[in-house]
Amino acid sequence: MKPGKLWRTTSGLVTLVALVFALVTVAIGAIAYEVTHEALEEQLDHRITTETAALLAEAHSGGLPAIGAAIRRREASRSTERLEYLLADDGGRIAAGTMRARLPSRAGFEELLEYRRSPGGSVRIAQALTTRVRGGTLVVGADRADLDAIDRRLLILFSGALAGMLLVGIAAAVLIGWMTRLRLEGIDATAQAIIGGDLSRRVPRDGSDSEFDRLAGTLNRMLDRIEGLMESLRQVSSDVAHDLRTPLTRLCSSLERAAGEADPAARADQIENARGQAAELLEIFTALLRIAEVEGFADRLPLHSLDLSALVEQMAESYRPDIEDSGRHLDTRIEPGLAVVGDRRLLSQAAANLLDNCLRHTPEGTAIMLRAKASPRGIVLSILDDGPGIPQEDRTRIFQRFARSERARSTPGHGLGLALVQAIVSAHGGHVLLEDGEGFHLRIELPPAS
């Protein structure tokens, strides 16, 4: 992999984050070290300043000899641990103190003063304050060994923290990269199988509700949708080839007879017959395209809140004259105020298809009942009649395109009405159920408007 693209991988991103944390650790360590170091130095300066002030206070009563005596008492008792003293007269001769160091050329603090505790001792480092006194020079210092030891411990601590951060970051990068590749390999294997033609494959899920698990669920729903559309396409292709063969054959026969007819009146009759058959074919293709449009653009339908009660009542009143004139009876029981979110035109077409079916496929004297009510599962729209109903052997395929029972083949229609109803209801997030029992009983469940 090219170095410039490493950060685009999961392992690269985790490594980058680990490096950022390491840099932050370095910055925090540097700040903490500096603050701690300065605080310890200020503490040493305070001890040195306090001790120098105490010695100078004794100088007012006895001068240089008094300071020397105070230094000797302190060194004998070691009451001031790690403090070193050097008192010299104006000639540079040592008057008191065990510190052996060069006399600083100017008064004030010196952070790194080399000294020895005895003429042959090892060189040590002190933080010292030089003060000019009457008759000589006073140097009070504090050994920096403890301060240097604390500095070393801080450096070791922060170096260990940095190394630990880098190791944890690298381990996290390897682990997360491995887990990510493992999940993505499952998705890739599913995609490769689908490319190979196995539309039944799905991305495995572990039920953890993690980001990958939710992504797998979304992809599986997408694949279910694609499989359904492909199955619908195969079914449409098969149905069109099977169910349109006869109308097309009749159309060709009518045109051939018209072409061979010598009598102009007979020829006109044949052409008019062919025109009617062509119109019937056009109607079938229009219905098929309408179903495909609803199924293919279900997620992009123009949905608005609408009063389903008023819509169903309006469709029932528009069909009531035809139903009553045909010797049938329409009874409606519609609860007011049932609201759904959907496309008014499509829902009107679904209601029209259901009423058309009852009008076409039931004998005279049939009672048709239209119901709409609210239920715990949503809004339920039911249409039922006491006619012959649908034979048991046809119930499993009644919602397929061109599905018609043997009883319905003598009545007008192409077997696309209920397929369109199911497509419209599914596009609105609902379900269509064919209830068991006498007659025809269709139940539609739609989610209510929130």
- For the stretch 281-315, pLDDT in tens is 777 677 767 777 776 665 566 678 889 999 999 99
Look at residue 3 and tell me whether its pLDDT is greater than 80.
no
Q: Check residue 240 and give its pLDDT.
A: 65
The residue among 148, 143, 140 whose CA lies nearest residue 48 is 140
- Does the predicted TM-score (pTM) go above 0.85? no
pLDDT in tens, 128-140: 888 888 888 888 8
Residues 71-79, mean pLDDT to the nearest whole number: 77
CA distance 127 to 140: 8
Most confident of 17-21, 228-232, 364-368: 364-368
Residues 351-359, mean pLDDT to the nearest whole number: 87
Q: Check residue 238 and give its pLDDT.
A: 67
Angle at which helices 211-243 and 145-195 cross, to 10°:
10
pLDDT in tens, 242-271: 666 767 777 788 788 878 777 888 878 888
Integer angstrom CA distances of residue 379 from 193, 318, 422: 40, 22, 16
The residue among 384, 380, 379 whose CA lies nearest residue 368 is 384
Q: What percentage of the chain has pLDDT greater than the value 70?
A: 85
pLDDT in tens, 194-231: 888 887 888 888 887 878 888 888 888 888 878 877 77
Name the strand (E) or helix (H) holding 84. Answer: strand 83-89
Q: Check residue 190 and give its pLDDT.
A: 86
Q: Check residue 81 and give its pLDDT.
A: 62
More confidently predicted of 254 and 31 = 31
pLDDT bucket at 336, cuts 50 / 70 / 90: very high
The residue among 282, 270, 272, 368 whose CA lies nearest residue 319 is 368
With b for 16 or more beta-carbon neighbours within 10 A and e for fewer, the 320-352 pattern comes to eeebeeeebebeeebeeebbbbbbeebbbbbbe
Look at residue 447 and tell me whether its pLDDT is greater than 80.
yes
Mean of pLDDT over the chain? 80
CA distance 26 to 164: 12
